[in-house]
Amino acid sequence: MLSDFLEGPLQAEIGISTLNLPDKTNAVAIPNTSNVGNGSELLLFNTRIEINPLLCGGSIDKDPLEIAGMLLHELIHARIYESLYNRGHFAQIVSGPPALNNIWDNFVQSNFPDIIPVGKDQHKLMAQVYVNDLAQALHDLNGGVGDPSDYLIFAWQGILGAYPEETRHKYDFLPKNMDDLLSNFNNNVKGKGDLQFNGCN
């Protein structure tokens, strides 16, 4: 999934560690930057993925497919940062992530000219461009159990929140009912497939 989007093969360099995060946050992707003064940051190549240690066996124990979806989600952020970095020809002053100046605007406009404007929000880009790929990837990783759409509940995690609830009806591409998505997963996938092992082994 990640190898054939944006430009060419996946090159994002990532570091993975754990960090205490708010209970509802599974993980975050943090681009590496270096402060060059004047409130400006230089975007560097590598991205850090910080994972909430409570995901495994802790107080917010998750379905393994949710964890897999979280990793894919953070890898998309890393891949986006890698593309932005490459557009900056290895060194680009930014005004601090995630507002990556006009580099971001150029990136969105040239790669996705037909989408509804996303502002500076990577999640709004994912909502229009990557959600179905994410669901497909989870379906494939889980051995093809059910239909790719059965995995949308986890493909939307961390993304839907980019749209305040009262505005969601304006966008056809957003899911109408998350309860339905959860039912699809529970009825057709839960407990079945390659990733449905117990715990975090």
**Using CB under 5 A, which of the segments 57-65, 95-103, 105-113, 151-159 binds Zn ion?**
151-159
Residue 193 binding Zn ion, by CB under 5 A = no
Evaluate whether 62 touches 51 at the Cβ level (below 8 Å).
Answer: no
- State both tokens at 6: 């944006």
H-state helical runs in the chain? 64-87, 101-111, 122-129, 131-141, 152-155, 178-188
- Rule CB under 5 A: say whether 158 interacts with Zn ion: yes
Q: How far is the CB of 79 from Zn ion (least distance, A)?
A: 12
Of 15-23, 81-89, 107-115, 157-165, which part binds Zn ion (CB under 5 A)? 157-165
Judged by CB under 5 A, the stretch of 60-68, 129-137, 152-160, 183-191 that binds Zn ion is 152-160
Cα gap 64→60, rounded to integer Å = 12
31 binds Zn ion (CB under 5 A): no
Residue the block writes with tokens 């309860």: 179
User: Closest Cα partner for 154 from 171, 131, 125?
Assistant: 131
Give the shortest CB-90-to-Zn ion separation in angstroms.
Answer: 25
Report 72-101 residues binding Zn ion (CB under 5 A).
Answer: none
| Shortest separation between residue 43's beta carbon and Zn ion, angstroms | 17
Handedness of CA 41, 46, 47, 50 (dihedral sign): negative
| Residues making contact with Zn ion (CB under 5 A) | 158
